[in-house]
Structure 1
Amino acid sequence: MSTFHELGLKQELLQGVEILGFSEPTKVQELAIPTILASQRDLIALAQTGTGKTGAFGLPSLHQVDTDSSAVQVLVLSPTRELAIQIAKDLKAFAKKMKGLKTVAVYGGANISTQIRALDNGCQVVIGTPGRMLDLIRRKKLDVRNVRTLVLDEADEMLNMGFQDDLDAILADTPKEKQTLLFSATMPKAIAKMAKKYMNNPEEIEVGERNSGAKNVEHHYYMVHAKDRFEALKRVTDMNPDIYGIVFCRTRRETAEIASKLNKDGYNVDLLNGDLSQAQRDDVMNRFRTKELQLLVATDVAARGLDVNELTHVINYNLPDDLEVYIHRSGRTGRAGNSGVSISIIHTRETRRIRDLERMSGKDFIKKEVPSGEEICGIRMLDLIDTVKETQVNEEQMSKFLPEALEKLADLERDDLIKHFLSVEFNQFLDYYKNANDLNAKGGNDRGRDRDRGSKNNGRDRGGRGNDRGGRHGDDSGYERFFINVGRRDGLNPVRMMGLINEQLNGSKPDFGKIDVQNNFSFFEVEPGFSNDLIHSVKGAKFEGRDVAIEPAQQDKKSNSGGGGGRSFGGKRKGGKGKRRRG
């Protein structure tokens, strides 16, 4: 391992790094910094979240800035405002000793006039989201004609969020002769295409195995019926009294529903999604970082840029549509030398996706049984006892009250005293889980994969590909199939389709089955019972300016493309059984 002094950075930057308390670079920094400084060649760097990517591109980019010029020389594009703010904060800290260097962060959801004034005052480095940056360029408030270094951070997520057109427009105004640095956690085909489009003979560095995720993260999954997903989430949380983690959901509405239900049931939780103002996001994140909150319920987009190293768990309330996003999610835990657990709550149609994740990541996914009420009560009781035993006693102050307390309790035998003590704190848990149902779903052809006690078989089951061999309903029969009159040419994809439908439906949301997006129209499956609500609630809705219509799929409208690929999506939520105080 080299030191920062050996990487060729100017003294002012080394001083800034030293103030921050860093002495040795991370692996991606050790590889990227000298590579960027040694030549003007473009660079592709593949590294997981939490590996020090900001320093890897930020330090050499700052090193090459001419502080005698007030022209914008470095552009850093990020997918979210949270990440843009975090990058700007880090770059300012690195450049603390660089006289004359100014950075400006520009992003949506904030006053554009304030950002324009900051740009008018001159700066060499601009960090921002593609939409706001393009807006400022078109207003002629951001001049990018002198850019020397262009950074595309979290490039895979920018493509997932549909920023391709914005990126094209921004890069069209930048000089042809510049150094482009592309940093990404994953390398899907779209990133390779982006590299070919925007970069010139780039070098490539890779930290860790591609799509492998963090080494010290265990991967668990629980199989339940869709209607029991929320109850399973609560049991998993109750089984881990010291949990400190993120629950990932697909949509903003789902984050609001899940966070609201958990709050009502007494959990220390809040949500993070795109509906929050920047002030609200800052408040939530401050409470989360100080562990005032145990759980954060978030969308993938909103969670970009979070910098928290001590997470014990990541919970996938739904598996993401793009399985590479799972690698990104799971990398939120097991950081900075800590261990962590990534948990997925799946239904019986998703066992094949677990196998796909095992193949992609090279990790074993351990099937766990959703704990029974009795198991949870046992765990919580022992946790309560440990908490009592570890509580510091103030002997001096307690001595004033102890005689009266002992006299008051003198008529209770030792065993009776313990029972009463436990009941005070524990009766609500006992009442809640009395007669609790078994939530474990049978199905998914999980033969040979019973590893719920930690036994492993290298992530493969002898049951082959199971019952999901292209049959329309996979493991759960009875899904209803619908036709919708919008498709790929309208910008529709599976995630946007689910968002469109969920936004229109009031109340419960359906469990989605296969989704088959065609060029001009699409098909999708949902669990039974939503037909009338779907058809009537979507009337009058528009998607990208086009009137939307849904109808039951007829035999002659079936597609033979197989484009749905057997994908399965998250399900209907079920509320808790009543309030109780966390043990």
Structure 2
Amino acid sequence: MTFADLALGEPVLKALREIGYETPSAIQAATIPPLLAGRDVVGLAQTGTGKTAAFALPIIDRLDLSQKAPQALVLAPTRELALQVCEAFEKYAGHLKNVHVLPVYGGQGYGVQLSALRRGVHIVVGTPGRIIDHLEKGTLDLSELKYLVLDEADEMLKMGFAEDVETILAETPETKQVALFSATMPAAIRRMSKQYLHDPEEITVKGKTQTSANVPQRYLVVQWQQKMDALTRILEVENFDGMIVFGRTRSITEEIAEKLRARGYSAAAINGDVAQPQREKTVNQLKSGKLDILVATDVAARGLDVERISHVVNYDIPTDSESYVHRIGRTGRAGRSGDAISFVTPRERGLVKMIERATRQEMTQMSLPSVDEVNETRLSRFDDRITAALGDSERIDRFRDIVAHYVRNNDVPEVDVAAALAIVAQGDTPLLLEPDAEPEAPRERRERTDRDRGDRPDRGDRPERRAPREGLATYRIAVGKRHRVEPRQIVGALANEGGLRRDDFGAIQIMPAFSLVELPANLSRETLDRLSDTRISGQLIELRPDAGRPQRRTDGERKPYRDDRGPNRPSFRDGGDRKPRYKRGDG
């Protein structure tokens, strides 16, 4: 089957040919025909299966360019995904004149969005919180909406947007066409589908938790401090074209890219801090071959499809299988081959088993390339450079005369002159590694015996938990365990509505009736007001600086709140029976 078989118009088909799309994916082939026929659709498919084109192509094909009010609304859980969906719409509409697509998300100034809405837009792609803001202000008119898409609906519900999504649905015309895409079908999604979709066609693409068979998966057990040396050796011995190196945090990606550049590799980092124009420039450099290594966080690489990517390296192995599948999906796309290598510290061995169970594919343990292997590769490349130079006969003739002149005048063997010229060409960097450059093998985690445990200090002797890291303060929000919130819901809601980055979050501690969240201490009044009005799981969070919490007394009573702690000095002392605090990145 080709895209032409799906009854799409010629402008859309022309754009697809230019992009290089030839055959539709399973979700696209199953979803596009019913959407073109006007039916509601529920699509169940994992990330990386081509869902965006599945709903974007039918929408673009049927746009009425004379209508100024928004015709299509796409709701996405994160601003990064909203931006990527916008990029996809713009690519697919490349041969239609004056198609206006507007991203609407928290953290961006209202002025840009208001100006675009006044001029008229055809497609709005946004996060639920900011869409709600515009509806409440009366700046977004959905009365003429024809198409509504809920992208990654299960993620939106996990992040606490259920009530917002239902509020938005209630503001849209009954006659609209709805497409709901989700990786899973929890009860809440099933209920929403029955309530808001009209006789939907349910389409399931199975088996997409598996990674591509074209991507061999390997892992290397390595100590944290040895990761950069391990990455450098792998770069030396692996025959790669383009590569993505995944790091867990913004700071890690920038550190990796900087160290790779210092070692002579063309590398750049993209993460949540990188502005969209710079991100596009970096990705284009990767596509054109001006850049060989992209160091990225999960969010920044979402939706990235670059044909040159032959290798993916998980510098930090992800803690959930879905992120792993998404990362590995950046290579081996559209039938191409690829390679995936994950760095695993001794304590992370359990993650390998978890990923293998989820993907139903085995990961092969590899060894760190040895000194001999690195030297063999270096010598092979050195030979290739000599062979290539010998092919330039004109320059060889000129330099042959120069070498002969030196030999005649200095009575030095030609082979010694060649060796000296190699030294000049190589510079101060040695061509070969020394045998003593082998790193120490990682030590396995030792099982503790009862006797070992007897040597540990008593729990009561442990130091108090640390204060928030520099630049952060502790804030209280009015949702907790009784509201069934999780850290990822808190992070998702606050990040989208407050325009915060993932690195702006410190520790999160969920209590029965409230939660404590470490956020930047210098939040503006406007941001605080906006966050105070945010809802998680339908509950107004009423965010405010935390004034401290009571300490546990030995007699079982609690001390009253101390008002003199200030927002930067909360007490995290507990009695040892609570669950440990959630760290940033958990969940």
- Normalising by structure 2, we get a TM-score of 0.72
Identity of aligned residues (%): 32
* Equivalent residue, structure 1, for 2:188: 193
Pick the structure with greater CA Rg.
Answer: 2
Matched, 1:296 2:294: yes
In structure 1, which of residues 322, 330, 339 is the aligned counterpart of residue 337 of structure 2?
339
1:361-372 alignment to 2 at 5 Å?
Answer: 361-372=359-370
Look up the SS of the partner of 1:345 in the other structure.
strand
Q: Following superposition, which runs of at least 4 residues in structure 1 exceed 6 angstroms of deviation?
A: 477-482, 484-488, 494-497, 499-505, 515-518, 520-523, 537-544, 567-570
| Distance in 1 of aligned mates of 2:442 and 2:174 | 57
* Equivalent residue, structure 1, for 2:245: 247
| Distance in 2 of aligned mates of 1:47 and 1:101 | 29
Range that drifts further, 325-334 or 232-241: 232-241
Matched, 1:557 2:557: no
Look up the SS of the partner of 2:436 in the other structure.
coil
Look up the SS of the partner of 1:343 in the other structure.
strand
Q: Please tell me the residue identity of whatever aligns with 1:7.
A: L
Gaps of 5+ in 2: 467-473, 492-499, 529-542, 547-566
Q: Structure 1 164/321 Cα, relative in aligned 2: closer, same or farther at 3 Å?
A: farther
Q: Structure 1 123/197 Cα, relative in aligned 2: closer, same or farther at 3 Å?
A: same
Range that drifts further, 424-433 or 357-366: 424-433
**8 Å contact from structure 1 (residues 153, 183) kept in 2:** yes
Q: Structure 1 369/409 Cα, relative in aligned 2: closer, same or farther at 3 Å?
A: farther
Range that drifts further, 296-305 or 114-123: 114-123
* Offset at residue 413 of structure 1 (A): 4.9
**8 Å contact from structure 2 (residues 375, 433) kept in 1:** no
* Equivalent residue, structure 2, for 1:8: 7
**8 Å contact from structure 2 (residues 27, 205) kept in 1:** yes
Q: Structure 1 59/262 Cα, relative in aligned 2: closer, same or farther at 3 Å?
A: same
Q: Please tell me the residue identity of whatever aligns with 2:577.
A: K
**8 Å contact from structure 1 (residues 27, 207) kept in 2:** yes
Look up the SS of the partner of 1:114 in the other structure.
helix
* Equivalent residue, structure 1, for 2:40: 41
* Equivalent residue, structure 1, for 2:534: none
| Distance in 2 of aligned mates of 1:272 and 1:297 | 6
**8 Å contact from structure 1 (residues 374, 433) kept in 2:** no
Q: Please tell me the residue identity of whatever aligns with 1:252.
A: R
Q: Structure 1 278/91 Cα, relative in aligned 2: closer, same or farther at 3 Å?
A: closer
1:181-220 alignment to 2 at 5 Å?
Answer: 181-184=179-182, 186-187=183-184, 193-194=188-189, 196-197=191-192, 200=197, 202-207=200-205, 209-220=207-218
**8 Å contact from structure 1 (residues 270, 293) kept in 2:** yes
Q: Structure 1 262/73 Cα, relative in aligned 2: closer, same or farther at 3 Å?
A: same
* Equivalent residue, structure 2, for 1:489: 480
| Distance in 1 of aligned mates of 2:448 and 2:131 | 45
* Offset at residue 326 of structure 1 (A): 0.9
* Equivalent residue, structure 2, for 1:223: 221
| Distance in 2 of aligned mates of 1:335 and 1:392 | 38
Q: Please tell me the residue identity of whatever aligns with 2:119.
A: N
Look up the SS of the partner of 1:34 in the other structure.
helix
Q: Structure 1 15/315 Cα, relative in aligned 2: closer, same or farther at 3 Å?
A: closer
Range that drifts further, 127-136 or 303-312: 127-136
In structure 2, which of residues 108, 116, 119 is the aligned counterpart of residue 118 of structure 1?
116
* Equivalent residue, structure 2, for 1:318: 316
* Equivalent residue, structure 2, for 1:30: 29
Range that drifts further, 159-168 or 6-15: 159-168
Q: Please tell me the residue identity of whatever aligns with 1:193.
A: A
Q: Structure 1 99/519 Cα, relative in aligned 2: closer, same or farther at 3 Å?
A: same
Q: Deviations over 1:522-545 (max 9, x none)?
A: 99xxxxxxxxxx9xx999999974
**8 Å contact from structure 2 (residues 321, 359) kept in 1:** no
**8 Å contact from structure 2 (residues 240, 311) kept in 1:** no
* Offset at residue 334 of structure 1 (A): 1.0
**8 Å contact from structure 2 (residues 480, 510) kept in 1:** no
* Offset at residue 332 of structure 1 (A): 0.7
**8 Å contact from structure 1 (residues 349, 568) kept in 2:** no
Q: Structure 1 439/233 Cα, relative in aligned 2: closer, same or farther at 3 Å?
A: farther
Q: Please tell me the residue identity of whatever aligns with 2:345.
A: H
* Offset at residue 428 of structure 1 (A): 2.2
**8 Å contact from structure 2 (residues 216, 339) kept in 1:** yes
* Offset at residue 356 of structure 1 (A): 1.0
* Equivalent residue, structure 2, for 1:455: none
Look up the SS of the partner of 2:279 in the other structure.
helix
Equivalent residues, number: 513
| Distance in 2 of aligned mates of 1:318 and 1:495 | 23
1:96-107 alignment to 2 at 5 Å?
Answer: 96=94, 98=96, 101-107=99-105
Q: Structure 1 33/374 Cα, relative in aligned 2: closer, same or farther at 3 Å?
A: same
| Distance in 1 of aligned mates of 2:423 and 2:78 | 47
Gaps of 5+ in 1: 446-466, 506-511, 524-533, 571-583
- Normalising by structure 1, we get a TM-score of 0.72
**8 Å contact from structure 1 (residues 270, 297) kept in 2:** yes
Matched, 1:441 2:432: no
**8 Å contact from structure 1 (residues 78, 154) kept in 2:** yes
